[in-house]
Amino acid sequence: MALYCAGNWKLNKSPKEAAEFIQSLKSAATAAEQANLVVFPPALSAYAVAAELKGSAIGWGGQNCHSDVKGAFTGENSPQVFKEMGASYCLVGHSERRHVFKETDEMMAKKVKALQALDIIPVLCVGETQDERFNNRTQEVIEGQTRKGLSLAEPGKPFWLAYEPVWAIGTGQVATPEQVEDAHALLRRVVGDGVPILYGGSVKSENSATLAKLNNVNGFLIGGASLVVDEFLKIYRTSQEAR
């Protein structure tokens, strides 16, 4: 399977900054590299990203969406609008959606269904908290989040998974190779072959080579380190070389 690097910009980059990022990424990355890169801009900068990416193989997606395409949902973003703008992916259940915005597994399942109906690939994010890991609940938690999040998925329609331990996100504390390999092996058993499983949580160019060599690691979902073109590309290149 190819190795993918996806940048989750979170609430960073205005439309102008986003367009500048894409222009430099397009000139720095080869066509072959571009095909394995994805960016997740904040919704209000997505239009600028989509415009810059016309004709490029770099993919982009929403960071979150509502499960209905329209209606009385003040402040939400429609998956149909992402589709019309050219999104190929959308994150579902990122740790910050679960823990800061209190979204539930039931909400994730509906979002997965809505996205697949529009042929947008959902990237379902799962991961245990530090407490859950200390209490030996990691496997139960990530398996449960995966099964529930996919409970309304349409058989045969593509989706991706991202394993992101909550305690590793934005903390500089990357999971150990053993922890990553164990979690990915479990997720592989749950979803089967052919589903890209990304690792996320403090991925940087200094640790990506080690992680890219692990079984069942098909790429990375990168937060902080994806905000600078050179570092984002360096993560992709060091990972690719390490394989």
User: Binding residues for ligand PGA, per CB under 6 A?
Assistant: 8, 164, 169-170, 200-203, 221-225
Q: Which is nearer to ligand PGA, 57 or 227 (CB)?
A: 227
Q: Least distance in Å: CB of 74 to ligand PGA?
A: 26
Inter-residue contact 108 to 92 (CB < 8 Å): yes
**Cβ closer to ligand PGA: 11 or 31?**
11
Residues contacting residue 225 through CB under 8 Å, at least 6 positions apart: 203, 204, 205, 231, 232, 235
Closer CB to ligand PGA, residue 8 or residue 216? 8
Q: Which of 128, 164, 181, 184 is catalytic?
A: 164
The H or E element spanning position 221 is strand 219-222
Closest approach of ligand PGA to the CB of residue 8, in Å: 4
d(CA 43, CA 62): 6
Residue type present at position 102: K
Q: Which residues of 193-214 are buried (b: 16+ CB within 10 A; e: fewer)?
A: eebbbbbbbbbbbebbbbbbeb
Q: Which residue in the list 52, 66, 94, 181 is annotated as catalytic?
A: 94
CB of 97 to ligand PGA, least distance (A): 10
Helix, coil or strand: residue 54: coil
Closest-CB residue for ligand PGA? Answer: 223
- Rounded to 10 degrees, what is the CA torsion of 232, 235, 168, 150? 80
In the annotation, is 94 catalytic?
yes
CB of 198 to ligand PGA, least distance (A): 9
Whether 103 is catalytic is no
Catalytic residue list: 94, 164
